[in-house]
Structure 1
Amino acid sequence: MSTTIAAILERKGHEVVTIAPEQTVSEVVAALRERGIGALVVVDGDDGVAGIVSERDVVRHLAEVGGDVLLARVADVMTTPVHTCTPQSTMDELTEQMTERRIRHLPVCEDGRLVGIVSIGDVVKERFEELHDHNRQLESYVAGSY
């Protein structure tokens, strides 16, 4: 059985760094650098997910319009619609969604409310832990059979 997103959030935490659509790309860049993350969830006034803005979005718009992109509003560069998952989603579902859609960050929503975010790094870490646990079980089994 595949691990649920709820289990991942229990280990990593539920903190999500957000930004408002009217803020600037310059503020996005500062938050990404300061927090050492790759994306911010754009929220509207009701804590609903309005979009997501990532390093990729900033670089794509930088290539298109140059340095003036730093003055643009987040709403002008964010990705919409946003693909999300739920705490009940599984790692297998998440991996498939990220691979098919070529996305690296998925906000986690429950009852229309933002409750976390999962990145491709979280997926890799979880898969590594699963493999490590499986390897330990095999070693224990082999050691116990002699």
Structure 2
Amino acid sequence: MCTVKELLRNKESIIWSIHPKATVINALQLMAQKDIGALPVLDEMGLVGIISERDFVHMIAETHECKMHATIDNYMTKEVITTIPDATVSECMLIMTTHHIRHLPIVENNQLIGLISIGDVVRQVVSEKDTTIQQMENYISGRGYGQ
């Protein structure tokens, strides 16, 4: 089973993030520009939150307005669920489905080293299943296992 560390090797190494005192419009522009659904929120001490598309939807639904110049720290999720690089993709899927989250920050030695999405996890699971199916087809057809 693939680990998060292996999954991160195949991802872009840049971790787009935002400061808690940045504005909603700053976050939305960065997310649109980079085509990403969430941003880790970092201050001088490290990871202090995460802000996602869903957070902005909740903000608008609750207030009936889009406060573009409000700061991120008013809307970010402050109790961030994280995992470690040695976690398996299956463990990440369980964390994400249990907590109903789509983005999972990866932390090592209290430092943010990556961010994976549910899409990253699903792609990896599908890839592993495809490999297993191919190996079984090879075995059944007499071409040998793992060829």
Whether these two folds match at TM > 0.5 is: yes
Q: In the alignment, which residue of structure 2 is the partner of 1:111?
A: 109
Q: Deviation at 1:56?
A: 0.4
What TM-score do you get using the length of structure 2 for normalisation?
0.92
Q: Give the alignment's Cα RMSD to 1 decimal.
A: 1.5
8 Å Cα contact 2:59/2:66 also seen in 1:
no
For residues 51 and 143 of structure 2, what CA distance do their matches in structure 1 show?
53
For residues 85 and 59 of structure 2, what CA distance do their matches in structure 1 show?
32
For residues 145 and 65 of structure 1, what CA distance do their matches in structure 2 show?
62
More helix by share: 1
8 Å Cα contact 1:14/1:117 also seen in 2:
no
When residues 97 and 145 of structure 1 are mapped into structure 2, their CA distance, relative to the original with a 3 A threshold, is same
Identity fraction in percent: 36
- Match of 1:44, as an amino acid? D
For residues 70 and 57 of structure 1, what CA distance do their matches in structure 2 show?
13
Q: In the alignment, which residue of structure 2 is the partner of 1:102?
A: 100
For residues 97 and 66 of structure 2, what CA distance do their matches in structure 1 show?
32
Q: Find the partner of 1:60 among 51, 58, 61.
A: 58
Unaligned runs of 5+ in 2: none
What TM-score do you get using the length of structure 1 for normalisation?
0.93
Q: Deviation at 1:145?
A: 6.0
For residues 13 and 5 of structure 1, what CA distance do their matches in structure 2 show?
14
Structure 1 residue ranges (4+ consecutive) displaced by more than 6 angstroms after TM superposition = none
For residues 13 and 77 of structure 1, what CA distance do their matches in structure 2 show?
27
- Match of 2:109, as an amino acid? D
When residues 5 and 64 of structure 1 are mapped into structure 2, their CA distance, relative to the original with a 3 A threshold, is same
For residues 90 and 63 of structure 2, what CA distance do their matches in structure 1 show?
38
When residues 145 and 16 of structure 1 are mapped into structure 2, their CA distance, relative to the original with a 3 A threshold, is closer
Moved more, 66-75 or 132-141: 66-75
Unaligned runs of 5+ in 1: none
